[in-house]
Amino acid sequence: MDYWVILWYNSKTNRMSKNQAIILAIVGFIVIFVLAVVFGGFGIKEGSQKVNLTVWGTEDESSFRGIFADYSDVNKGVKIKYEKIDESGYEKKLVDALAAGNGPDIFMFHSDWLNQHKNKIVPAPSEIVPASKLDTLYPQIVASDFSDSGKVYALPLYLDTLSLIYNRDSLDRKGVALPPKTWDELETQVRKKRLIVSLGEKSDIIPRAKEILMSMMMQNGLKPALGAVRLSGSEGQTALGFYTKFDSSKSAGSINDFTAEKNDIIFDFQSASKLIHAQNPTLNFGYAPLPQFNSDSPAVIADYYGLAVSNKSQNPVAAWKLVSYITTTQAVAEKFDLAANRPPALRSLISLYSDSKEYGVFVKQSLIARQWPQADPDQLKKIFDDMIGYANSSNKIEDALRRAESDLGSL
């Protein structure tokens, strides 16, 4: 108290001296500076703040290394640590870590996870990623997979779709000049040219059985929904009837069978290419669009990962800025896609890669890609397997679909 009396009061002049005014100015500046730092960072650039971000995913670290280095060079205070986790145990490890409070800030998020795991994500700030921009940036499926009620929960790293993968040499030997564009054309080639294709069985033999059948149903006009869906109408009967008409005794639907040249055509995603090349480097294979029932109403299932931000992150805004940088900046997104060998998701890159030998089929199909809303993807796979198995054993297509309807309603 004595100090302030000396500072403010001169009994003879009733005024502050020059020195007292200087001292007051210095003290005032210090007080203002401290308050500014505490409440908002007066004069401090965001890039100079120390931020540590952890990222989990299933991709090789090399796919992100250059991107993270470039980002940290510009944003000096941001340090990024990446941890790769094997995809087979990724979801469980991620969910357990988030529940225990020691999960990552940013994590790769699958395209069918929103209904299960939305409550673990902090939505993107609208000033960073407005929901209204999604359809401008990406094919329409992204908004349905990664947003809800005007909020964005993830952004895609790439966009993969189900395709027809064929052995070029085998088709040439059998006199098939071009892979089939329609399912009817495929059936004709199987009958007349004795092509061996991956259809007719459950996922233990045909790994993509669920995705193939879902695509067929949607091509016939079925409208999927979360939970109960009417499968037993003509749309479902046409799809399941066609799928199960193929001789399951000749089915050899895995990538292993394809690389061993036990079949001519399989149905899988572009992600299968890495394993195909690894198992048989000399195999001459190609991609073609998934056959359709009606070219006027095409549909194909998508399968891809994006990036999301944990609601336990201590730096959610900084995390979303990094996610946006990776997924919405064309040059950066392209750098990731090429490093990871993935089909791009950005519309601007789709137009650039539409004629690509490796990505052309997939980027074009991304514009017609659809998703089947799933509360529990594993349980949905079991329901489809049971439906296929019952149809094959009983030859009762409608009964098999009705049983599946009942099971879906209980999810």
| Greatest pairwise CA separation for the chain in angstroms | 116
pLDDT at 34 over 50: no
pLDDT at 210 over 80: yes
Higher pLDDT, 179 or 251: 179
Give the pLDDT score at 35: 38
**Tell me: the pLDDT tens digits for 62-98?**
999 999 999 999 999 999 999 999 999 999 999 999 9
CATH code for the domain defined by 161-302+376-409: 3.40.190.10
pLDDT at 42 over 70: no
Of 210-214, 243-247, 272-276, 403-407, the range with the lowest mean pLDDT is: 243-247
Residue 303, classed as helix, strand or coil, is strand
Give the pLDDT score at 248: 61
Calculate mean pLDDT across residues 182-200. 94
**What's the pLDDT band for 254 if we cut at 50, 70, 90?**
confident
**Tell me: the pLDDT tens digits for 317-330?**
999 999 999 999 99
pLDDT at 30 over 50: no
Q: Residue 94: beta bridge partners?
A: none
Work out the end-to-end distance of the chain between its first and last CA atoms, rounded to an integer number of angstroms.
72
Please write down the long-range contacts of 347-352, taking CB distance under 8 Å and 24 or more positions apart. 347/136, 347/137, 347/138, 347/139, 350/139
Residue 341, classed as helix, strand or coil, is coil
How far is Cα 317 from Cα 125, in angstroms, rounded to an integer?
7
Q: How do the domains of the chain map onto residue ranges?
A: 2-39, 46-142+309-342, 161-302+376-409
Same fold, 46-142+309-342 and 161-302+376-409: yes
**What's the pLDDT band for 38 if we cut at 50, 70, 90?**
very low
CA 407 vs. chain centroid, Å, equals 27
CA 285 vs. chain centroid, Å, equals 25
Going through 106-162 in order, the beta strands assigned E by DSSP cover: 106-110, 147-148, 151-152, 155-156, 160-161
CATH class of the 46-142+309-342 domain in this structure: alpha beta
Locate 87 and state its tokens: 């995809």
Locate 231 and state its tokens: 């499968």
* Torsion region of 294: left, alpha or beta (phi above 0 gives left; psi -120 to 50 gives alpha): beta
Mean pLDDT of the chain: 89
Give the pLDDT score at 1: 40
**Tell me: the pLDDT tens digits for 356-397?**
999 999 999 999 999 999 889 999 999 999 999 999 999 999
Give the pLDDT score at 249: 59
Of 166-175, 218-227, 395-404, the range with the lowest mean pLDDT is: 218-227
Give the pLDDT score at 17: 53
pLDDT at 23 over 90: no
Of 25-39, 130-144, 195-209, 210-224, the range with the lowest mean pLDDT is: 25-39
CA 280 vs. chain centroid, Å, equals 28
Calculate mean pLDDT across residues 112-121. 95
